A and B are shown apart, each in its own frame.
Chain A
Amino acid sequence: EMQLVESGGGLVQPGGSLRLSCAASGFPFSGYFMTWVRQAPGKGPEWVANIKQDGSEKYYMDSVKGRFTISRDNAKNSLFLQMNSLRAEDTAVYYCARGRGWLDPWGQGTLVTVSS
């Protein structure tokens, strides 16, 4: 069974940092683009970043460029999102998902709350 499990979310003050992790199992992780998507309370999902299979290409939404960094460790079947200079508007559930078009599967998500 394909599975993605996120971790690393929590409460952080504005300007702070967090590192999210996503552990993949049940499929050949190194063969797939991977994506981070976030969903603010009561809103639709929002694409954040994605990364090519070998990590050579990375893409970000404009509002997180220069603050967030996506990376992966194919040896450990893991995806990461380093988030710096966090803002209140970054508050959301963050999901990792497989794919470079439609997304399937998604993890269960990890909540990031940015508040003082």
Chain B
Amino acid sequence: EIVMTQSPATLSVSPGERATLSCRASQSVSSNLAWYQQKPGQAPRLLIYDAIRATGIPARFSGSGSGTEFTLTISSLQSEDFAVYYCQQYSTWPSWTFGQGTKVEIK
């Protein structure tokens, strides 16, 4: 099983600042990686897949990386962006795995 490790566990950021979240895979997943945002009491929402923004996702969200190292960047944090973010690999069909999450909180 591919293990996905996210860092940091918690990221404290001021509104308007840049946030950089990391996700590392225990073996190469090529570009088969997605990012999700989850707010309390809600389902995860797809943000990025294959480094492409999903429909309706603001341009301040961007994803990069391939192989084992990936980054989600939020260029200028808005109040609605404070949430937990998960990465997911879908390289090993059909057994996909998720990271344990990074909580972005207000500094």
Query: Are chains A and B native binding partners rather than an unrelated pairing?
Result: yes
Please name all residues of chain A whose beta carbon is closer than 8 Å to the beta carbon of B54 when the two chains form the complex.
102, 104
Category for how many chain B residues contact A: 20 to 34
Interface of A is mostly: loop
Shortest C-beta distance, B32 to chain A (Å), equals 7
Q: How large is the interface on A (under 10, 10 to 19, 20 to 34, 35 or more residues)?
A: 10 to 19
Are B46 and A103 closer than 8 Å at their CB atoms?
Answer: yes
A interface footprint on B39-81 (CB within 8 Å = 1, 0 otherwise): 0001111100110001000000000000000000000000000
Give B residues with C-beta under 8 Å from A: 32, 34, 36, 42-46, 49-50, 54, 86, 88, 90, 93-101
- A61 contact from B36, B93, B95, B101, Cβ within 8 A: B95
Residues of A near any B CB (own CB < 8 A): 43-47, 50, 59, 61, 95, 100-109
In the complex, what residue of chain A is closest to B49 when comparing beta carbons?
A102
